[in-house]
Amino acid sequence: MGKLGLKEVIAMGVGGMVSGGIFAVLGVAMQRAGNAVAFSFLIAGILTLLTAYSYVKLTLHFKEEGGTFSFIAHAVDNMHIAGVIGWLLIIGYVGVMALYAFAFGSYLVSMLGYPVNSLIRQLISASIIFIFVGLNLSGVKETAIYQDIAVYLKIALLISLAFLGIYFSDNTTEVIDAFFNEGILPSITAFAIIFVAYEGFQLLTYGYKEIENVDENLPRGMYIAIIIAMLIYISVSFMATLHITPEEVITNKEFALGAAVRSFLGTAGFIIVIISALQSTSSGINATLFGTARLTRKISIENELPEVFSYQNQKKIPVYSLIIIGILSASFAFMGTLEEITTFGSIVFLIADAAANYANLKLYKKTNSIFWIPLAALTGCIIAIPIVFYHLYMNQFHVLISIISIFVIMLLLNGFYIMNKKRTKNNA
C-alpha cells in the first residue's frame, strides 16, 4: 500500500470524526441546547481545532505514532503516568466503539420497526462489534480507495441533506428568533457533553509513518478535516432544529437526524439516512477497532499493559488485543444508555486532550509552538470537564455514578498491575 496523500489524510480525519457522531449525539445535544445546538457544535469545533495544533506540533517533533500516550511519556518522563493515560485512551476508544454500535443498532431497529430500548437493539449493537472483530482477526481490511469514496460521498450527502432541509423549511425565521430557547448557558455547556463527536482526528497521529510529505500533509489534512466536520455538524444540526420539535427530540433522540429528514423528504429520506448511518457507524467501528488494538499493543510493548496484549500472530494481527477490546466494547454497547456512552466518551477525550495540550504547553519551545494556543486549548478542556460532571450531578446522577465507577475500576486495575509488576521485578 502506498503512502497517504493529502486527500487520503482528509478522508481519514473526516471519516474518523463523522463516523457516528452526528448520527448518535445529535439528539442528546438538541435536548440540552435546543435551537442553539449548532452553536454548541461550533464551540466544540473551535476547541478541537486548538487542540489539533498540539497534536500536530508534538507528533512532528517526536516523529512517533503513539499519540497522547507518547506525548505524556516525553513531557513528564514517567511511564507510569503515561500508562494511566494509555489505559484512559483505551477505555475511551471502547466507549467510542460502543457509541457507534449503539447508533448502528438504533437506526437499524428503527427501520425494522422495533423500539430502541429493546433487546433486539442491544443484540444488534453487540453483534456488529463482534463481526468486525472477526473481520480484523481474519485480516480483511477496507481498501484506501473504498474509504476515500465512502467518506467523500458521506460529506456530499450530509451537506446536501442540510441545505435541502434549510431550503424546504418554512420556520427558519422563528427558529433564529428563538435561537437560545433553552437559554445561553445550556448551549455553552452542551459542547462539553457532545465533545466526543469530534473524536477521531487523533487517529491521524497513529498513521504518522504512512503519510506522504508528513510535515505538510499532517497539519493541512488534520485542520481541513476538522473544518469539514464542523461545517457538517453545524449545518446538519441547524437543519434538524427546523424540522423536529423538542417533544420529538425526546422521543427520537437515538435517531434524531433520521426523524428530522423524514419530515421533509418522507420515508425515502429516512431510509437514505439509515443507510448512511449504518455505513458510517460500521466503518467507524472497524477503523477504531483497528487503531485501538495497535495502540494497546504499543502500550503493552512499553510494559504498561500485560504482555498478552503485545502478542501478534503470523499476519501481524494483535489477536488478544482485538478480542478483549471487542468484548469490552460490545458489553458497553449492550448495557449502556446513549447518555452514559456519549458523556463517558466526552469526559475521556477531554481529559486526554487536556493531557496533550499540557504536554505541548510544557514543551512549546522545543515544538516551536505559539504559547497561547495550547494554553487556550488546555483552559477550554479544564473548564469543560467540571461542566460535564456538574450537568450529570444536577440532571443524571445515576449516569455520574456509572462513569465514576468505570474510572475507579480502571485506576484500581492499573494500580494492581503496577504493584504486581514491581513485585515480579523484585522477585526476579
Q: What is the pLDDT of residues 176-197, one digit of tens each?
A: 877 887 778 888 888 888 888 8
292 touches 94 (CB < 8 A): yes
| Count of CB atoms situated within 10 Å of the CB of 414 | 18
Q: Which amino acid is at 7?
A: K
Q: Which amino acid is at 169?
A: S
Q: Let me know if 319 is exposed, middle or buried by CB neighbors in 10 A (0-12, 13-18, 19+).
A: middle
Instruction: Name which of 231, 239, 220 is nearest 168 in CA terms.
Output: 239
The predicted pLDDT at position 209 comes to 79
Rounded average pLDDT over 164-168 = 89
What are the beta bridge partners of residue 211?
4
Q: Is the pLDDT of residue 427 over 80?
A: no
Phi and psi based region of residue 268 (left: phi greater than 0; alpha: psi -120 to 50; beta: remaining) = alpha
**Residues composing the chain:** 428
Query: Mean pLDDT, the chain, as a whole number?
Result: 87
**Of the given ranges (20-29, 297-306, 317-326, 398-407), which has the lowest mean pLDDT?**
20-29
Count CA atoms within 13 Å of residue 391 on its CB side.
28
- For 143, residues 6+ apart whose C-beta sits below 8 A from its C-beta are none
The predicted pLDDT at position 428 comes to 61
Q: Is the pLDDT of residue 246 over 80?
A: no
Q: How confident is the model at residue 248 (pLDDT cuts 50, 70, 90)?
A: confident
Instruction: Name which of 2, 42, 70, 5 is nearest 220 in CA terms.
Output: 5
The predicted pLDDT at position 283 comes to 78
The predicted pLDDT at position 142 comes to 56
50 touches 276 (CB < 8 A): no
283 touches 299 (CB < 8 A): no
**pLDDT above 70: percentage of residues in the chain:** 96
191 touches 384 (CB < 8 A): yes
Q: Give the integer Cα–Cα distance in Å for 180 and 295.
A: 41
Q: How far is CA 15 from the centre of its chain?
A: 11
Three cell numbers written together for 348:
475521556
Domain locations in the chain? 6-422
**pLDDT above 90: percentage of residues in the chain:** 34
Tens of pLDDT along 208-241?
A: 778 889 999 999 999 999 999 999 999 999 998 8
Secondary structure of 270-324 in HEC code, one letter for each residue: HHHHHHHHHHHHHHHHHHHHHHHHHHHHHHHHCCCCCHHHHCCCCCCCCHHHHHH
Q: Give the integer Cα–Cα distance in Å for 352 and 300.
A: 19
Tens of pLDDT along 269-291?
A: 888 888 888 888 887 888 788 77
The predicted pLDDT at position 373 comes to 97
Q: Of 3.40.1440.10, 1.20.1740.10, 1.10.1240.10, 1.10.510.10, which CATH number belongs to 6-422?
A: 1.20.1740.10
Tens of pLDDT along 34-62?
A: 888 899 999 999 999 999 999 999 999 99
Three cell numbers written together for 330:
460490545
**Of the given ranges (46-60, 153-167, 238-252, 301-315), which has the lowest mean pLDDT?**
238-252
Q: Give the integer Cα–Cα distance in Å for 356 and 75.
A: 9
Q: Give the integer Cα–Cα distance in Å for 359 and 420.
A: 29
The predicted pLDDT at position 284 comes to 81
Q: Give the integer Cα–Cα distance in Å for 250 and 116.
A: 12
Q: How far is CA 152 from the centre of its chain?
A: 19
Q: Is the pLDDT of residue 1 over 50?
A: no
What pTM does this model have? 0.89
Tens of pLDDT along 126-160?
A: 999 999 898 888 876 655 676 778 788 888 888 99
DSSP 180: T
Q: Give the integer Cα–Cα distance in Å for 425 and 428.
A: 5
The predicted pLDDT at position 144 comes to 61
